[in-house]
Chains A and B, each alone.
Chain A
Amino acid sequence: MSLAELVAGIIVVALNAYAVLGGADFGGGVWALLASGARRERRRHLIAEAIGPVWEANHVWLILAIVLLFTCFPPAFARLGTLLHIPLSLVLIGIVLRGSAFTFWRYGGHGDETQRYWGVVFAIASLITPLLLGTTVGAIASGALGEPGGGQGAGFYRIYVAPWLTPFTLSVGVFALIAFAFLAAVYLTLEAQERELQEDFRSRALGAGVALFFAALAALLLSHRWAPRVREALIFAPWAVPLHLLTATTALTALAALWRRRWRVARVAAATQVSLILWGWALAQYPYVLPPDLAVEAAAAPAVTLRLVLAALALGALVLFPSLYYLLRIFKSRQPSEVP
């Protein structure tokens, strides 16, 4: 494995962590938006309590991925910034509104009307941001982000809109949204202290888990026309069938565990399932950091930069992982049996 491949792998790890940790924070917002019925406020409170201590730390995974991308694969970052300017700007607006509205909701108010209003802004931003994030991932996977040629003649729409606005990219957006909601619901069964809330999120997790299957199917069907390269790899690569079998197994395990109320097993299985899907995308795209033409090796920064960044990552990991473990131990280690 070359240095560049190693760094590319670490970027996928960071995105993976962002998906299973930060993604669930977005998913929590989705459930806050959809909350209705008698236990609405209790559910919202639970969601906010679950997100509060960790969402900022979870968010840093995305920043880490971006920093590694622009340090180690600058041509890919430059082209992404240029061609995906519009969806990425919208993602940023979503991120800004989600984060600030959440804090205004939890810290700013005194239990009045305005405070509830921020809860709504937070929830809507939590719904829209994953959609757009998924759409940009879909645009990358579809291999439509080639060197912007033609200049003036090519037209604004063809260069800056068409690559990311296709049925396939949108289906990936929907997929990401459902995956994040699924993760959140699964995690919340563990966070809930009351039986009723656990059951609420159990049924939501089961529903989302089934919906996720159909979203994946839709994306696969649409990839036939809009993302042929990735589809090819996902079907014919030597790793494809074992990976799909493994993903299917974890998906069924997650659903079965939810059915039998084995919350901890469900949490591990659901996170593994989403991770495997993400790695499937990364493998299908290999050797390109940005298909159709920017290969990992060709787009990489000089070796000295890669070596130093890897050293910084090793050093940073020494600080990061104990700290992260400490944070999650304090706030996420509550056993369901501790329910008073």
Chain B
Amino acid sequence: MSDLLAARSQMAVSLAFHIVFAMVGIAMPVLMVVAERRWQVTGQDVYLDLARRWAKGTAILFAVGAVSGTVLSFELGLLWPEFMRFAGPIIGMPFSLEGFAFFTEAIFLGVYLYGWDRISSRAHLWAGVAVAVSGAASGIFVVIANAWMNTPTGFELVAGRAVNVDPLAAMANPAALPQAVHMTLAAYAATGLGVAGIHAFLLLKDPSNAFHRRALVIALLVGGPAAVLQPISGDFTARHVARYQPTKLAAAEALFETQAPAPLVIGGWPDVRTRTTPGAIEIPYGLSLLAFHDPRAQVKGLDVVPRDEWPNVPIVHLAFQLMVALGTYMALVVLWAAWLGWRGQDLVSHRWLMRALTLATPMGFIATEAGWVVTEVGRQPWVIYGVLKTADAVTPMPGLIVPFLTFTLLYCFLAVIVGWLLYRQIVRSPQVTE
């Protein structure tokens, strides 16, 4: 394994690990605040129990998210010193703002978790709201920084150096809005449906338990709208990528040659040698329609850049298909549940809906990981699209396989522990009758 690949792998593992906890940290506070508010309004103790249990889970997940986020901020320098030397002054701004958002989140989470008996119930609820808002804000700031790597703006490149730096223009880069919307929705959809799925599974065994029924409704109310909006946001994002990052879209869609009209390639395993995708289904006009909302539009293929500037096409294509498939499934299940709910039916008695929701439990997280693979692997060989190659950004230190393996082992270990702790908490759910 080359040092570059080891550094990329360590970064990938660190991001893949952190993103799960970051998403839960964004969405879980919304769930617990809604439950607490329901308790204040209805006086039913089952809601208080829910809020407290969700808060307990949030405490564990937030702590792991906080420390794994610290690892990432250091890794920017440990693995990519040349990237930070170039990008720090341009894109440090959103990181600074994120610092404060994270501060607010940590402070009010402390207040929320430990303040049940120390402050008024109003103040307590508002502390939860502050956690939810600042959690979403810190996620958005970090995504803005990432969006800049995809569509860099706010500087001029003169002899390899950045001049006329404008950090505000860098923050307002074209990809910032679509990426921030897509990722924020992903956090609510994945966490909401993840929680809903767990309770749906438990309701299959114990359909009359009011604890799980209440939890399911709240989780669906938080995650459901996001899951339905996500395909629309995805369409917006894809059209944006078609314009600003044509190679990424070409790799995601396995489009080797520039075509007008371009077909949509579904499935298959792209073969970069023959520039074909055996086993794929092609839908004529499909990609032109999706990427430009015009069946005759020309879509740029991988042939617009030299061969050595292609990302890994099979991985990006596969990840993209996976993300789209899982996202579509989630939106459809939510629409099904909404349809049944709208007709006044009891969702829990529809065992197939409960099974479908159970199946969706991990899907949002897998889809998000796949989406990050598309955006990060799809940008290669660049770390800053069109400006700085990843190979030129890596640290000169040799032997990077050692930290890669160390952090991978550490994170695998933590993942097992967290999974086990959450499992123990879930199996101890209370029995509540209506």
Contacts and interface: CB of A to CB of B under 8 A. Distances in A.
Interface in B70-102: 70-71, 73-74, 76-79, 81-82, 84-90, 92-93, 95-100, 102
Interface string B87-122: 111101101111110111011111101110011000
A139 to B, nearest CB: 15
Contacts of A64: 96, 99, 103
B119 A330 contact: yes
Contacts of B56: 107
A312 interface: yes
Interface stretch (A163-171, A220-228, A252-260, A298-306): A298-306
Contact of A60 (B93, B95, B102): B102
Interface string A45-65: 000000011101101101110
Interface in A65-89: 66-68, 70-72, 74-75, 77-82, 85, 88-89
A82 B81 contact: yes
Contacts of B93: 71, 305, 308-309, 312
Interface string B45-70: 00000000000100110111011111
Indicate the member of B56, B63, B397 with the most A CB atoms within 10 Å: B63
What is the predominant secondary structure among interface residues of chain B facing chain A? helix
A103 B64 contact: yes
B78 A89 contact: yes
Contacts of B403: 85, 89
B107 A79 contact: no
B395 A82 contact: yes
A104 B60 contact: yes
B294 to A, nearest CB: 40
Nearest to B83: A78
A319 to B, nearest CB: 6
Nearest to B395: A82
Interface stretch (B162-170, B177-185, B226-234, B257-265): B162-170
Contacts of B396: 82, 148, 151
Given A53-B110, A88-B74, A107-B60, A160 B397 contact: yes
Contact of A100 (B63, B76, B92, B102): B63
Interface residues of B, number: 68
A67 B99 contact: yes
Interface string A130-164: 00000000000000000010010000100010000
A56 B165 contact: no
A85 B111 contact: no
Nearest to B67: A99
What is the predominant secondary structure among interface residues of chain A facing chain B? helix
Contact of A63 (B85, B99, B111, B118): B99
Given A88-B74, A304-B165, A320-B104, A100 B89 contact: no
A71 B63 contact: no
A308 B108 contact: no
Interface string B144-158: 000000000000000
Interface in A94-116: 95-100, 102-104, 107-108, 110
A242 interface: no
Contacts of B399: 156
Given A52-B114, A60-B99, A330-B111, A305 B71 contact: no
Contacts of A70: 73, 76-77, 84, 88, 92, 95
A67 B60 contact: no
A326 B77 contact: no
Contact of B88 (A74, A93, A97, A324): A74
B305 interface: no
B414 interface: yes
B92 A305 contact: yes
Contact of B118 (A156, A160, A305, A330): A330
B106 A60 contact: yes
A81 B78 contact: yes
Contacts of A67: 73, 92, 95-96, 98-99
B51 to A, nearest CB: 15
Contacts of A59: 66-67, 70, 106
Given A82-B397, A99-B66, A57 B103 contact: yes
B120 to A, nearest CB: 11
Contact of A81 (B66, B74, B103): B74
A96 B67 contact: yes
Interface in A221-249: none
A323 interface: yes
A340 interface: no
A2 to B, nearest CB: 16
Interface string A288-299: 000000000000
Contacts of B418: 100
Contacts of B76: 70, 81
A308 B81 contact: no
A54 B66 CA distance: 13
Indicate the member of B71, B87, B88, B97 with the most A CB atoms within 10 Å: B88
B66 to A, nearest CB: 5
Given A85-B397, A88-B74, A319-B100, A331 B110 contact: yes
A99 B63 contact: yes
B85 A74 contact: yes
B96 A78 contact: no
Interface of A: 52-54, 56-57, 59-60, 62-64, 66-68, 70-72, 74-75, 77-82, 85, 88-89, 91-93, 95-100, 102-104, 107-108, 110, 148, 151, 156, 160, 301-302, 304-305, 308-309, 312-313, 315-316, 319-320, 323-324, 326-327, 330-331
Ranked nearest first, the 4 interchain pairs of A and B with the lowest CB-CB distance are A71-B92, A81-B77, A301-B89, A74-B88
Given A79-B81, A91-B74, 6 more contacts: A70-B84, A96-B70, A96-B410, A107-B60, A305-B89, A323-B107
7 contacts: A54-B110, A77-B84, A82-B395, A102-B63, A312-B97, A320-B100, A320-B103
